[in-house]
Each structure stands twice: as C-alpha cells, then as structure tokens.
C-alpha cells in the first residue's frame, strides 16, 4: 500500500540547510468567510496542521492578512511542540491591509512592511522569517523602496529569503536590481490561469514558484470533464490530477493547496503518488490558452 507522504513529491532546496518537500500547505482557508475573522472551528484548524506534519508536509505558506492574523495563530499552535521544528519552513507575506471580508488593499510603505514582519515573527513565535513575499506591489511606492526594505530586514538577519507575489517577469527583473529574489507566488493552475512565462523565468533564475489557487478546477472537474475523466483513468480525484500536473510542470513548482478538512488534506497529499504519463500531461497542458 502506497503511503500518504508529501516527500513522495520530491524536494526543493532554498538553501544548503535542508530541503522542503515540494507539496506544501497553505493556511488561507483557516479563516472566516471572505478570509476575514476567525475560523469557525479553531481546534479543527490546528488538527489539520498537525495532521499535515504527520503526512510529511514541512513547508507552510501563510500571511498576516489571512484573518487578519488568525491563520498565523492557528499555524503557530499547530506547529508548537513539533519534532524537528527547525526543519519546518514557513513562507509569509506582507504588504496587504484588510478592511473587511474579501477586501484587500496593498500597502507597501517601507515602515509598514517592517512592522508586519516584526509582528508576524511574534505571532508565529519565530526569531526570523524563512521566506517573506511582498504580497502585492503597491504602485504608490517604488519597487526599489518596497523590496529594499525587505532587503534591509534580510541584512539584519530577520529574513532569509525574499519573494514576490502576483508579478510579471518585468517586475521580477526590476526587483532583482535591488535584492536576490528566491521565490514567486502567482495565481496558477491547470485550468484557466497560466503565467507560463513567469514559471519558466523563475526556473531559469533558480526561484521557487508557488501556485496559489492550485485547485481552481472549476468546470473541468465536473462529471464528464477532462480532469474528471482522467481522474477515473488513474483512479484518483480530479484535485489529485490538478496537483500532479503542477508537480510535473516544473521542478521549481511547490503547490500549496489549503483545506480545513483532514480528509481533503489526505487527498491532496496523496497527489504526490500520482505520476501522469507524458501524453496525459501534454493533453492537460493544452487546456488553457492564455
């Protein structure tokens, strides 16, 4: 019987210290409706994180704007007391403010970015951030000022790696003039959002690529759809097919599917055991024409 273990998806190295398992976990769903307020069942949220650890997940993605703060609190509680805590990698995001459900307002003032990093470290109970993304570029401030503040925090030892979220190749290149960029987090999935040029550029620059909303399969997951039909062929779920496609798309892709269900978590991690044929991978790759 094949085990459910994120390590089956292979590993990725941000540095020489340790390797993260490519199939991670995102905390965004551990909040109230509209990513606002507390999650309805905090104990269950903590249980899901602990179960993710049991399944070999050692890469967790979060942001202070999830809640705000609530997802970070559940993540900290779920990771507390974990064995090999120093072998768990957390990616965080700063640069968004929240004024209510489904409302997201970028704010890239350097002092604010610094405050978010400092408060996030306190909330997560850590003395440095493994990876911090600029959640969104704020057009009111230059990329040099926003990324430059993260670079200063990096120089102070408070951030190990710097990333960018929802950016173009040109914006990445602009940021690279200021600091070494180690990761990109963009909306990307097999069905309808495909910044392939960003994925390929990130790979060429030895940057990790985190696809958010990786399971937005939509109509493609409905009965009779391409993903549903292929899932029947492999005797897995459509979500597992979508994740398997991401894992095969490029070695620098680290999917971070989020869920508040232990059952869905097991299903997601089991995608690490799915190996798509070249023909099926190519067929899925043609589903979205950007």
Q: Which residues are catalytic?
A: 66
Phi-psi map region of 136: left, alpha, beta (phi>0 left; psi -120 to 50 alpha):
beta
Cα 250 from Cα 222, distance rounded (Å): 26
Contacts 24+ apart (CB under 8 A), 241-244: 241/190, 241/271, 241/274, 241/276, 241/284, 242/189, 242/190, 242/191, 242/214, 242/215, 242/217, 242/271, 243/23, 243/214, 243/215, 243/268, 243/271, 243/274, 244/271, 244/274, 244/275, 244/276
Buried b (16+ CB within 10 A) or exposed e, 175-199: beebbebbbbbbebbbbbbbbeebb
Token pair 């950016």 is found at 167
Contact in structure between 61 and 91 (CB atoms under 8 Å): yes
């Amino acid at each position: 019987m094949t085990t459910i273990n994120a390590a089956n998806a292979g590993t990725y190295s941000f540095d020489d210290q340790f390797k993260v398992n490519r199939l991670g976990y995102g905390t965004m769903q551990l909040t109230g409706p509209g990513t606002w307020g507390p999650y309805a069942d905090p104990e269950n949220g903590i249980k899901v994180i602990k179960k993710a650890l049991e399944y070999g997940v050692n890469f967790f993605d979060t942001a202070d704007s999830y809640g705000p703060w609530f997802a970070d609190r559940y993540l900290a509680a779920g990771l507390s007391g974990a064995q090999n805590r120093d072998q768990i990698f957390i990616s965080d995001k700063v640069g968004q403010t929240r004024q209510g459900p489904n409302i997201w307002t970028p704010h890239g003032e350097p002092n604010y970015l610094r405050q978010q990093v400092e408060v996030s470290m306190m909330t997560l109970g850590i003395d440095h951030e493994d990876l911090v993304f600029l959640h969104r570029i704020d057009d009111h401030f230059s990329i040099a000022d926003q990324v430059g503040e993260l670079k200063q925090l990096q120089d102070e030892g408070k951030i190990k790696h710097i990333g960018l979220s929802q950016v173009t190749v040109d914006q990445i290149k602009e940021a690279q003039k200021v600091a070494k960029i180690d990761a990109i987090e963009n909306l990307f999935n097999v069905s309808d959002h495909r910044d392939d040029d960003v994925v390929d550029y990130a790979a060429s620059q030895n940057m990790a690529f985190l696809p958010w909303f990786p399971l937005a399969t939509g109509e493609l997951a409905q009965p009779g759809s391409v993903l549903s039909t292929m899932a029947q062929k492999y005797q897995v779920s459509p979500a597992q097919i979508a994740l398997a496609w991401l894992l095969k798309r490029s070695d620098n892709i680290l999917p971070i599917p989020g869920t508040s269900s232990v059952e869905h978590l097991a299903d997601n991690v089991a995608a690490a055991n799915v190996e798509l044929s070249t023909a099926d991978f190519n067929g899925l790759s043609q589903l979205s024409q950007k």
